[in-house]
């Protein structure tokens, strides 16, 4: 399998006060393949979000290497990093984080317009298609205050997809949703993954993680386990057994 994203001996320290250092990530080594659907689990404070920010170039690592499509992130300028995130990566957050002064539609197309890879007309068309697919076509001109949490999360997904990224990062994208909405969002992500986009999710929810093909377990700044579940078939029986297997595993890991 072709490797899309790779971290080698990734370390992240925060300097607190004058002397104190706090090491959040300790010698992380991971490889994410193109088209892979991976989740990260672990107790609160173990460094999951930090890992996500560092391998996506949002935050600068302290030492180590991150290779994305073979390019080393630490050698890139701030502007090149931004360009990379804009064109090749998509992000979904726990609280959708749409820009509050733009309509839902404008939120989706903004990064598309900025990328300048196709005409604005085509971007608009693509956005409409995405909204159609995610079931929020009727909300285009709404303010972000005029939509439910689940709907906003879908808008966030549309935004992440507008530039056809190679990978989508999600930091607990279902964390703020009820079971039903969370299930729908996961279905969407599975579908996106099927079309070839890699996805890396941070989650606390075993049911969510059980839908991914591989689960990384973080503890105290290290990746302590890497469990391959294989592609999910989507049959209800399969889902049940994967979920049970994972829960069992998590119990063994002490969560």
Partner 1 sequence: MIIFRILKKDFLRKKIVTIVVFVFIMLSALLVSSGSNLIVELSNSLNSLFSISKVPHFVQMHSGELDQLKIDNWSASNSMVKEQQTVEMITIDGSDLYLGESQKPEENSIMDISFVTQNKSFDFLLDMNNNIINISAGEIAVPVYYMQQKNMKIGDKVSLSNKSSNIKFTISAFIRDAQMNPSIVHSKRFLVSNTDYQMIQTTFHEKEYLIEFLLHDLKMADDFSKSYLSSGLPGKGPSVDYNLFKVLNGLTDGIVSGVVIILSLLLMIIAILCLRFTILSSIEEDYREIGVLKAIGISRNDIRKIYLLKYAAMGALASLTGYIASLFLNHFFTSNMLMYIGNAPKIFIQQIIPMGAAGIISMIVFLSCVIILRRFNRITAIEALRSGNSGDSLKINRLLHLKNSRITPVNVFLGARDILQRFRMYALLCIVFFFCTSFTIIPVHFLNTIKSTAFISYMGIGRSDIRIDLRQSDNIAERFESMVARISGDSDVKRFSPKVTSRFIMINNEGAEENINIETGDFSLFPLDYLEGRAPETADEIALSYLNNREMNKKTGDKLMLIVDGKNKEMRICGIYQDVTNGGKTAKAALPFNKNAVLWYTVSLDLNTGINAAEKVREYSDSFYPARITDLEGYLKQTMGNTIEQIKKVTIVSVSVGLAVSVLITSLFLKMLIAGDSSQIAIMKSLGVSLHQIRIQYITRSLLLLTSGIILGTVFSNTAGQNIISMIWSFMGASQIRFIINTVQAYLILPLLLIISVTITSAISITGIKKSSISEIVAE
Q: Where along the sequence are the contacts to ligand ATP (CB under 6 A)? A: 14, 22, 24, 42, 44-50
For the bound state, the minimum distance from the C-beta of residue 242 to partner 1, rounded and expressed in Å, comes to 29
DSSP string, 16-45: ETTTEEEEEEEEEEEEEETT-EEEEE--TT
Cα–Cα dist 243/208, whole Å: 9
Cα-based distances in Å from 166 to 15, 36, 50, 139: 33, 11, 21, 27
Binding mask 54-83 for partner 1 (x = CB under 8 A): ----xx------------------xx--xx
The piece of 18-26, 46-54, 70-78, 158-166 that touches Mg ion (CB under 5 A) is 46-54
User: Interface with partner 1 by CB under 8 A: which range of 63-71, 112-120, 203-211, 232-240?
Assistant: 112-120
Q: Enumerate residues 6+ apart whose C-beta is below 8 A from 174.
A: 153, 181, 182, 185, 186, 203, 205, 208
CA distances from 204 to 93, 190, 201 (A): 14, 18, 10
**Mask of contacts with Mg ion, 5-44, x by CB under 5 A?**
----------------------------------------
Q: Supply the minimum distance, in Å, between the C-beta of residue 105 and Mg ion.
A: 29
Backbone angles phi, psi at 177, to 5 degrees: -110, 160
Contact in structure between 104 and 134 (CB atoms under 8 Å): no
Q: Which of 3, 86, 225, 239 binds partner 1 (CB under 8 A)?
A: 86
Phi and psi torsions of 166, nearest 5°:
-80, -30
- Which of Mg ion, partner 1, ligand ATP, none is residue 27 near (CB under 5 to 8 Å by kind)? none
Per CB under 8 A, contacts with partner 1 among 90-109 are 91, 93, 97-103, 105-106, 109
CA distances from 252 to 136, 209, 225, 246 (A): 41, 16, 11, 10
Strand order across the beta sheet in which 198-202 lies: 89-92, 167-171, 198-202, 37-41, 214-219, 222-228
Pick one of Mg ion, ligand ATP, partner 1, none as the site partner of residue 111 (Cβ within 5 to 8 A by kind).
Answer: partner 1
Task: Choose among Mg ion, ligand ATP, partner 1, none what residue 236 binds, the Cβ cut-off being 5 to 8 Å by kind.
Answer: none
- Taking residues 140 to 159 in sequence order and writing x for each that binds partner 1 by CB under 8 A, - otherwise, the string is -x---x-------------x
Pick out residues in 115-134 that bind partner 1 (CB under 8 A): 120, 124, 127
- Number of residues binding to Mg ion, judged by CB under 5 A: 1
């Amino acid at each position: 399998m072709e490797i899309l994203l790779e971290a080698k001996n990734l370390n992240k320290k925060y300097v607190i006060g004058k002397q104190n250092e706090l090491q959040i990530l300790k010698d992380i080594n991971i490889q994410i393949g193109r088209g892979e659907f991976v989740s990260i689990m672990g107790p609160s404070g173990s460094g999951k979000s930090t890992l996500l920010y560092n391998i996506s170039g949002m935050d600068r690592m302290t030492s180590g290497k991150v290779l994305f499509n073979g390019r080393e992130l630490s050698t890139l300028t701030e502007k090149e990093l931004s360009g990379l995130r804009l064109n090749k990566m998509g992000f979904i957050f726990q609280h959708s984080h749409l820009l509050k002064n733009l309509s839902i539609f404008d939120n989706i197309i903004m990064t598309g317009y900025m990328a300048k890879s196709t005409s604005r007309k085509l971007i608009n068309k693509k956005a409409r298609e995405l909204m159609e697919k995610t079931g929020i076509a009727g909300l285009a001109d709404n303010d972000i205050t005029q939509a439910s949490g689940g709907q906003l999360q879908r808008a966030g997904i549309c935004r992440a997809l507008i530039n056809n990224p190679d990978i989508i990062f999600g930091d607990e994208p279902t964390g703020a949703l009820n079971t039903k909405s969370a299930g729908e969002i996961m279905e969407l992500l599975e579908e996106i993954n099927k079309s070839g986009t890699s996805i890396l999710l941070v989650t606390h929810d075993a049911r969510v993680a059980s839908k991914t093909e591989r689960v990384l377990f973080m503890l105290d700044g290290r990746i302590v386990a890497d469990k391959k579940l294989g592609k999910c078939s989507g049959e209800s029986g399969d889902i049940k057994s994967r979920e049970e297997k994972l829960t069992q595993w998590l119990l063994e890991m002490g969560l």
